[in-house]
Amino acid sequence: MIIEQNNIIHSNTKKPIIYDVFYNKNNTPKPVVVFCHGYKGFKDWGAWRLVAEEFAKAGFFFLKFNFSHNGGTIEQPIDFPDLEAFSENTYTKELNDVDRVLKELKNYSHEADAGQVHIIGHSRGGGLALLATEIHNNIVKAATWAGVSDFATRFYEGTDAFKDWEKSGITYVENARTKQQLPHKFSFYEDFDANREAYTIKRAVSNTQKPLLIVHGSEDTTVPLHEAESIKEWAPQGKLHVIEGADHVFQTKHPWKKETLPEEMQEAVKETIKFFK
């Protein structure tokens, strides 16, 4: 298996994107899987490497990447040394990142079929994946893992906390693992509000007939199961697969030091590979 880690997509005007690819080299273009991490996530979190290897073994060209403004850097792609970049993130930038990653596939034309892309998004990345699926013709199937169904509700518009954020221009969320205070500028909300219709997941899902797999844990307390059920309701062609007993990360954690996946994550991987094939 070929594993390339920490490759870089450079730009003169945008922050670089760092990514990994996993594939079996045979000079035959393979269907692609692009993986989008979630909020406060990164490509090297937990068991994502083992997940990537399973898809490569199954015959896919697997690419996972860090969003350009997730707080990581080229030198330190794990954790969040660049809090200024984190504070300036927007959904528009993340969708642009997906576009840049898809264009990067041309550099692997002997091994990756850029016209047959499958996308997986975890948590907030699931919402982004659904928006990207509507936008990009070469994304043929999508899967959400513990994916969110709505971005607007997460701003708590009209509450005292929202008004304080609007007034001060910045708010902070603690990263429970690193204990950092992660900054969010109000421009994050302003970007969403300016593109509210385009960034409404319900509208995007209802507007596409592409095959969709919705994988969710029955015990997810971060993104409740009813969000997966909502996505299924909006997408009659979608398939909902509930993993009994699974939490938000399907029983994985960071760091993940084992060389095997827990049963819940194995089920998510198995069902997604079967769906993509």
Instruction: Give CA–CA dist 201/208, Å, rounded.
Output: 11
Q: Report the relative pairing of strands 17-23 and 2-9 from DSSP bridges.
A: antiparallel
Residue 162: its pLDDT value, please? Answer: 98
Mark the ranges of the chain whose per-residue pLDDT is less than 50.
none
DSSP string for residues in 205-260: HHT--S-EEEEEETT-SSS-HHHHHHHHHH-TT-EEEEETT--TTTT--SS---SS
Q: Using one digit for the tens of pLDDT, what is the confidence trace for 203-231?
A: 999 999 999 999 999 999 999 999 999 99
Structure tokens, 28: 């035959």
Please report whether residue 177 resides in a domain.
no
CA atoms within 13 A on the CB side of 265: 22
Residue 207: its pLDDT value, please? Answer: 94
Please report whether residue 10 resides in a domain.
yes
Please report whether residue 236 resides in a domain.
yes
Question: In the chain, what is the greatest distance between 2 CA atoms, to the nearest angstrom?
Answer: 58
Please report whether residue 11 resides in a domain.
yes
Torsion of CA 202, 204, 276, 145, to 10 degrees: -40
What CATH number is attached to the domain comprising 252?
3.40.50.1820
Neighbours of 256 (CB within 10 A): 18
What residues make up the domain containing 73?
2-151+196-276
Residue 84: its pLDDT value, please? Answer: 97
Closest Cα to residue 200, out of 269, 144, 127? 127
Number of domains in the chain: 1
DSSP 3-state of 112:
strand
Please report whether residue 17 resides in a domain.
yes
Instruction: Give CA–CA dist 73/86, Å, rounded.
Output: 11
Please report whether residue 79 resides in a domain.
yes
Residue 178: its pLDDT value, please? Answer: 87
Strands of 112-122's sheet, edge to edge? 2-9, 17-23, 61-65, 30-36, 112-122, 139-145, 212-217, 239-243
Please report whether residue 268 resides in a domain.
yes
Q: Is the Cα dihedral 87, 91, 97, 98 positive or negative?
A: positive
Structure tokens, 84: 């200024």
Q: Using one digit for the tens of pLDDT, what is the confidence trace for 132-167?
A: 999 999 999 999 999 999 999 999 999 999 999 999
Please report whether residue 76 resides in a domain.
yes
DSSP 3-state of 42:
coil
Q: How far is CA 41 from CA 177, 187, 249, in A?
A: 11, 20, 11
